[in-house]
Amino acid sequence: MDTLERITKPYPSGSTLLVCSHNFVNRTIICHALGLHLDRFREFQQDEGALNVLYKRQGQLVAEVVNDVSHLTKCGGTSLQT
């Protein structure tokens, strides 16, 4: 979480950032945003290529979207997943 704070701190409020990471790092950040203890990080799915949308509101990280893969499922009516 310290690293995420260091990455986001230089940007003004309202900025949009894309931060790419791996499964367990994503789960750790999402646990924090959802107010869950870290020992619960295996309770939710993080599919490959999933999007998580997080906001920082009043100094708190808030998860608005978790594990969205809708961008992977359809492209011109054809499934991209195998």
Residue 50: closest CA among 31, 80, 71, 35 = 71
**pTM of the entire predicted model:** 0.79
Q: Is 66 helix (H, G, I), strand (E, B) or coil?
A: strand
Give per-residue pLDDT as tens, 60-74. 899 999 999 998 876
- The amino acid occupying position 58 is Q
Half-sphere exposure of 46 (CA within 13 A, CB side): 17
Give per-residue pLDDT as tens, 19-58. 999 999 999 999 999 999 999 999 988 998 899 999 988 8
Which pairs count as long-range contacts for 3-7, CB under 8 Å and 24+ apart, including other chains?
4/29, 4/61
Q: Which two tokens stand for residue 23?
A: 């499964």
More confident of the two residues 77 and 43: 43
